[in-house]
């Protein structure tokens, strides 16, 4: 790739780091993630590390010391009882609950590789991920373990460990919750494959540790920054899910980058973060789990944020200072009377990622809570953070902010050549947080990482200050009579209507213009018409960007973190209209 224009070399964004953000990335403070976990646990031993908050108000908690002790026991169980070798893959498939950090940290302490798996996957999706990763052990929540019967023999899994959502709760709340799940909700189906319970596995691990006088730290002796820590599968929204190989060094570097951007707003040992996004997703895994564990925060885990009323008890009962989410989560909260009438009074910042933050949602959030939503940008392949809006200094609406320290960013055309300032181009990234590649897919790796640069597939624009704005995904762009239309822009315009709850825009075939803009709208209430939406758009958009059709829906398809799936809408349209 040719040398870029001077503007990219000059990194104009560093001017906006201010006094709070160092221009040069600090080296990781730990050799590997297991060392980070142990250091944080020793420093914050008696503080509450995690609390699972159920919608009914029942809760359970673990201190930093307990998380450290239990995850040590699980590491010994994996290595000494199951007999796994260093580098073995262990799948963890559960929602946000106390068992998750114990299992995840135990896998890392064992010197094994964590394979995060969505608990809502179908058996076919599970089979693909387990077989592709070569996972030898699986920790799965009991609610979904019945899916294993038809697929287990087709994988390399030789030990199944079953966990519970109310794991580590005190005896009475745990019994009540499990009773409701079993007899009232019918949410605990019989498990028809050989397995052990997590309680038993931890007891066996502790016994083996004490009997053999084993120090679990020996499992990670000599573990370097290049050692594989995580196989994080892409969401599959653009095709077959692939495992991004993230190393200990990738994740530790991204922690330092996140701390550089947010340290001014973090009081060590005093923060309370609400984790509504699933921990098996890279955004919550790095930001909510790793970052806030490292600084001694209390992490309030929500097993399911849907319906959005499930989060009310968390906001009512805990002094939430940080919350992360996607546009749909913030929008849903703003449409809840309990939230707008009594907004969280301890909140310092909200962090958005995963999908474009609509300006109407951002402005309303600030009006209701008195705090900004700091929009960032990242992807699975970059651990994930690439850009972030500084919490102090210049904040630009509709912007993903500036590259985090230690990160190089360029915008390039279809030939890989840097585009002029102010022109849209594909965002490419280089930095210590970029993955090694895709697991066992050198062909896909070569398509994505070229000359050390990660090609994101996202189209962005950079202004003279070095702030970036995502225009859209390259593959989502609509070509109307030769003019580029970016769905994000149209969606943002429609979302400004008070009558609209959610919106998604795709391109569909059109005999006259090649493609036409087609909008899917979820109205706040009945009565909204197609012509009202189109008239609103005509006031904000040039004519070729105005939707030719508006289709009303009760809901839109989404990923587990709430990102609207345009791919599914395109597939539905194609199936219905024959092309």
**pLDDT range class, residue 482, cuts 50, 70, 90:** low
Would you state the structure tokens that stand for residue 106, as one six-digit string? 């135990």
Instruction: Write down the pLDDT at residue 26.
Output: 85
Residue with tokens 């699972």: 52
Contacts of 365 (CB under 8 A, 6+ apart): 330, 334, 350, 371, 372, 373
Contacts of 102 (CB under 8 A, 6+ apart): 62, 67, 70, 71, 74, 167, 168, 198, 202
| Whole-angstrom distance, CA of residue 150 vs CA of residue 541 | 52
SS3 427: strand
From the CA atom positions of the chain, what is the Rg in Å? 24
The alpha carbon of 306 is separated from its chain's Cα centroid by a whole number of angstroms, namely: 16
Whether 430 has a pLDDT exceeding 80, the answer reads yes
pLDDT, mean of residues 252-270: 94
Whether 332 has a pLDDT exceeding 70, the answer reads yes
User: Sign of the CA dihedral 118, 122, 123, 127?
Assistant: negative
pLDDT, mean of residues 502-519: 90
Instruction: Write down the pLDDT at residue 3.
Output: 59
* Residue 25 DSSP label: P
Residue with tokens 């593959």: 475
| Whole-angstrom distance, CA of residue 351 vs CA of residue 323 | 6
pLDDT, mean of residues 87-98: 98
**pLDDT range class, residue 519, cuts 50, 70, 90:** very high
**pLDDT range class, residue 489, cuts 50, 70, 90:** confident
**Whole-number average pLDDT of the chain:** 92
Q: What percent of the chain has pLDDT over 90?
A: 76
Predicted TM-score (pTM) above 0.85 = yes
| Whole-angstrom distance, CA of residue 404 vs CA of residue 216 | 34
Whether 483 has a pLDDT exceeding 60, the answer reads yes
pLDDT, mean of residues 296-317: 95
**pLDDT range class, residue 280, cuts 50, 70, 90:** very high
User: Sign of the CA dihedral 28, 32, 38, 44?
Assistant: positive
Beta strand ranges found along 379-474 (DSSP E)? 385-388, 402-403, 408-412, 425-430, 437-438, 449-450, 453-462, 468-473
Contacts of 438 (CB under 8 A, 6+ apart): 242, 243, 244, 245, 444, 445, 448
In tens, the pLDDT along 447-469 reads: 999 999 999 999 999 999 999 99
**pLDDT range class, residue 187, cuts 50, 70, 90:** confident
To the nearest 10 degrees (0 to 180), the angle between helices 487-495 and 530-540 is 110
| Whole-angstrom distance, CA of residue 81 vs CA of residue 76 | 7
pLDDT, mean of residues 549-575: 91
Instruction: Write down the pLDDT at residue 236.
Output: 44
Whether 423 has a pLDDT exceeding 80, the answer reads yes
| Whole-angstrom distance, CA of residue 340 vs CA of residue 485 | 34
Q: How far is CA 308 from CA 86, 276, 302, 340, 375, in A?
A: 41, 10, 11, 13, 21
* Residue 564 DSSP label: B
In tens, the pLDDT along 192-248 reads: 999 999 999 999 999 999 999 999 999 999 999 999 999 999 854 345 689 999 999
Cβ contact 31:225 at 8 Å = yes
Instruction: Write down the pLDDT at residue 237.
Output: 37
Cβ contact 413:268 at 8 Å = no
SS3 480: strand
pLDDT, mean of residues 103-108: 98
Most confident of 138-142, 277-281, 470-474, 479-483: 138-142
In tens, the pLDDT along 25-52 reads: 988 999 999 999 999 999 999 999 999 9
Would you state the structure tokens that stand for residue 43, as one six-digit string? 């420093």
Residue 385, beta-bridge partner list: 378
| Whole-angstrom distance, CA of residue 152 vs CA of residue 288 | 31
Q: Which of 126-130, 172-176, 429-433, 557-561 has the lowest mean pLDDT?
A: 557-561
Q: Which of 33-42, 112-121, 180-189, 209-218 has the lowest mean pLDDT?
A: 180-189
In tens, the pLDDT along 340-352 reads: 999 999 999 999 9
Whether 434 has a pLDDT exceeding 90, the answer reads yes
Cβ contact 262:268 at 8 Å = no
What domains does the chain contain, in order, with CATH numbers?
A: 64-224 (3.40.50.980), 478-577 (3.30.300.30)
**pLDDT range class, residue 578, cuts 50, 70, 90:** confident
| Whole-angstrom distance, CA of residue 370 vs CA of residue 362 | 11
Instruction: Write down the pLDDT at residue 443.
Output: 94
Instruction: Write down the pLDDT at residue 235.
Output: 55
| Whole-angstrom distance, CA of residue 14 vs CA of residue 446 | 30
């Amino acid at each position: 790739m040719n040398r870029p224009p001077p503007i990219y070399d000059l990194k104009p964004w560093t001017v906006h780091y201010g006094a709070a953000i160092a221009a040069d990335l600090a080296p990781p403070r730990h050799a590997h993630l297991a060392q980070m976990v142990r250091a944080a646990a020793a420093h914050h031993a008696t503080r509450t590390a995690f609390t699972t908050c159920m919608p009914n108000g029942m809760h359970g908690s673990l201190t930093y010391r307990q998380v450290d002790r239990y995850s040590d026991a699980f590491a010994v169980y994996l290595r000494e009882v199951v007999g796994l070798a260093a580098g073995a893959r262990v799948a963890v498939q559960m929602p946000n609950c106390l068992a998750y950090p114990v299992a995840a940290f135990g896998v890392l302490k064992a010197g094994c590789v964590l394979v995060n798996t969505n608990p809502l996957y179908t058996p076919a999706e599970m089979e693909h991920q387990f077989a592709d990763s070569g996972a030898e052990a699986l920790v799965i929540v009991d609610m979904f373990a019945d899916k294993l019967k038809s697929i287990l023999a087709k994988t390399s899994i030789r030990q199944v460990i079953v966990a519970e959502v109310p794991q580590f709760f005190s005896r009475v709340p745990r019994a009540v919750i499990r009773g409701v799940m079993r007899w009232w909700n019918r949410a605990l189906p019989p498990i028809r494959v050989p397995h052990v319970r997590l309680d038993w596995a931890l007891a066996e691990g502790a016994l083996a540790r004490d009997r053999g006088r084993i120090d679990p730290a020996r499992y990670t002796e000599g573990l370097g920054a290049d050692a594989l820590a995580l196989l994080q599968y892409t969401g599959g929204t653009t095709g077959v899910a692939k495992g991004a190989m993230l190393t200990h060094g990738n994740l530790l570097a991204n922690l330092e980058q996140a701390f550089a951007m947010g340290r001014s707003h973090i009081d060590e040992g005093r923060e309370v973060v609400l984790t509504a996004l699933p921990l098996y997703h890279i955004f919550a895994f790095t930001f909510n789990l790793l970052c806030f564990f490292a600084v001694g925060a209390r992490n309030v885990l929500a097993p399911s944020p849907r319906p959005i009323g499930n989060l009310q008890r968390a906001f009512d009962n805990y002094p939430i200072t940080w919350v992360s989410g996607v546009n749909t989560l913030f929008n849903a909260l703003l449409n809840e009377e309990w939230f707008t009438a009594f907004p969280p009074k301890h909140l310092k910042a909200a962090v958005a990622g995963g999908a474009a933050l609509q300006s109407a949602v951002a402005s309303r959030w600030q009006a209701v809570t008195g705090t900004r939503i700091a929009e960032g940008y990242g992807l699975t392949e970059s651990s994930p953070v690439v850009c972030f809006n500084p919490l102090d200094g210049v904040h630009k609406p509709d912007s993903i902010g500036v590259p985090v320290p230690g990160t190089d960013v360029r915008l390039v055309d279809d030939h890989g050549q840097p585009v002029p300032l102010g022109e849209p181009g594909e965002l490419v990234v280089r930095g210590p947080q970029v993955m090694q590649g895709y697991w066992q897919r050198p062909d896909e790796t070569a398509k994505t990482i070229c000359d050390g640069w990660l090609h994101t597939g996202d189209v962005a624009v950079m202004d003279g200050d070095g702030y970036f704005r995502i225009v859209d995904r390259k593959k989502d762009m609509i070509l109307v009579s030769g003019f580029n239309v970016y769905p994000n822009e149209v969606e943002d315009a429609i979302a400004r209507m008070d009558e609209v709850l959610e919106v998604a825009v795709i391109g569909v075939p059109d005999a006259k213009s090649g493609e036409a803009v087609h909008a899917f709208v979820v109205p706040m209430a009945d009565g909204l018409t197609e012509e009202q939406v189109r008239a609103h758009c005509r006031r904000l958009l040039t004519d070729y960007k105005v939707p030719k059709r508006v289709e009303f829906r009760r809901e839109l398809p989404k990923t587990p973190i709430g990102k609207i799936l345009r791919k599914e809408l395109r597939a539905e349209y194609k199936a219905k209209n024959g092309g």
